Amino acid sequence: MEAPVGKITSLTALLFALIAAPLCKAQSQPSFEVATIRPSNSDPNEGSWSLPGIGKFSAHNLTLARLMMLAYGVDDNQIANKPSWLESDRFDVAAKPSGDIALSREELKPRLQALLQERFHLATHTEIRPMLGYALTVAKGGPRLQPTKGSRFPGYRLNVSKSELNGLNWSMPFLATMLQQPAGRPVVDKTGLSGSYDIKIDFSPESSTDNSLPSIFTAIQETLGLKLEPQNIPVEFLVIDHADRTPTEN
């Protein structure tokens, strides 16, 4: 008995949609036009990455863990299920996006994710786990923040070092992200403040013993009218399901 033509057409259309959907998704994923990844035998204390200009991304002597931090925007302590070599084996990366374009850090992320998935067969998933961290809140007396004037690219004139946070047009969630490294734990924004602000904080690194500057905790309160409160917070973890130790050939 033959099926009605209408049913066959509908079934064909459904099958085509199911097949085409992942193909369209894959085609829309930004990627590098050409890229090389080679093992690096440089000094473990050396390592750098840069977006030096139009059509370039380079990384020197970085571990896969560090490359994942760049690709997914997470801290090292937010990567779970690490193989033992993830923070010891080092690689040099040179990559060029299609077209003569200068990549921002956000535009780099999906391209670097695709590259790691292709060459290391990296497979991951995310999980929300409670973790001891800090909530960024408004201190007693209220915030002392300088609203950004005019239209400026977020992070413009960004300068992050061991003793300074300095940038323009930062939202409170972005400030919370930038505080994770000096605070030593994950930070979430609970200020309830919207808008963008120009931020400049000078502080003493935690390991410093001969610095007259205040700690990051004191500096935030005195300079910005904010504070970091210790508490368990929900943190998104990037969990590794699989990663090849040796990347595929270039």
pLDDT digits (tens, 9 = 90+) for 191-242: 999 988 999 898 887 655 666 889 999 999 999 999 999 999 888 899 999 9
Residue 61 has pLDDT above 70, yes or no: yes
- Is 13 within the bounds of a domain? no
Comparing 121-135, 142-156, 173-187, the range with the smallest average pLDDT is 142-156
**Rounded distance between C-alpha atoms, residue 200 and residue 159, angstroms:** 9
Other Cβ atoms within 10 Å of 216 Cβ, number:
22
Number of domains in the chain: 2
Residue 53 has pLDDT above 70, yes or no: no
Residue 182 has pLDDT above 60, yes or no: yes
Statement to judge: residues 52 and 137 lie in one domain: no
Most confident range, picked from 35-44, 164-173, 230-239: 230-239
Statement to judge: residues 230 and 159 lie in one domain: yes
- Is 50 within the bounds of a domain? yes
Statement to judge: residues 41 and 75 lie in one domain: yes
Statement to judge: residues 137 and 109 lie in one domain: no
Statement to judge: residues 162 and 218 lie in one domain: yes
Statement to judge: residues 231 and 140 lie in one domain: yes
- Of the residues 97, 120, 143, which one is the last residue of a structural domain? 120
Residue 150 has a pLDDT of 67
CA distances from 4 to 9, 10, 200, 212 (A): 9, 10, 71, 84
- Is 151 within the bounds of a domain? yes
Residue 52 has a pLDDT of 63
Q: How confident is the model at residue 94 (pLDDT cuts 50, 70, 90)?
A: very high
Residue 169 has a pLDDT of 84
- Is 68 within the bounds of a domain? yes
- Is 19 within the bounds of a domain? no
- Is 41 within the bounds of a domain? yes
Q: What is the pTM of this model?
A: 0.65
Statement to judge: residues 90 and 133 lie in one domain: no
Q: Are 132 and 185 in contact (CB under 8 A)?
A: yes
Residue 158 has pLDDT above 80, yes or no: no
Mean local confidence (pLDDT), 74-89: 92
Residue 42 has a pLDDT of 77
Residue 38 has a pLDDT of 94
Residue 168 has a pLDDT of 82
- Residue 133 dihedral angles phi and psi, to the nearest 5°: -150, -150
- Is 108 within the bounds of a domain? yes
Percentage of the chain modeled with pLDDT above 70: 79
In the numeric block, the tokens 């939202």 are attached to 171
Statement to judge: residues 102 and 153 lie in one domain: no
CA distances from 213 to 109, 159, 209, 220 (A): 35, 18, 10, 12
Residue 44 has a pLDDT of 73
Statement to judge: residues 150 and 184 lie in one domain: yes
Most confident range, picked from 14-23, 99-108, 138-147: 138-147
- Of the residues 75, 97, 120, which one is the last residue of a structural domain? 120
Q: Which of 217, 219, 174, 221 is nearest to 198 (CA)?
A: 174
Statement to judge: residues 177 and 219 lie in one domain: yes
Residue 41 has a pLDDT of 83
Map residue 70 onto helix, strand or coil. Answer: helix
167 vs 120, residue with greater confidence? 120
Statement to judge: residues 167 and 227 lie in one domain: yes
| Residue 80 belongs to domain spanning | 32-120
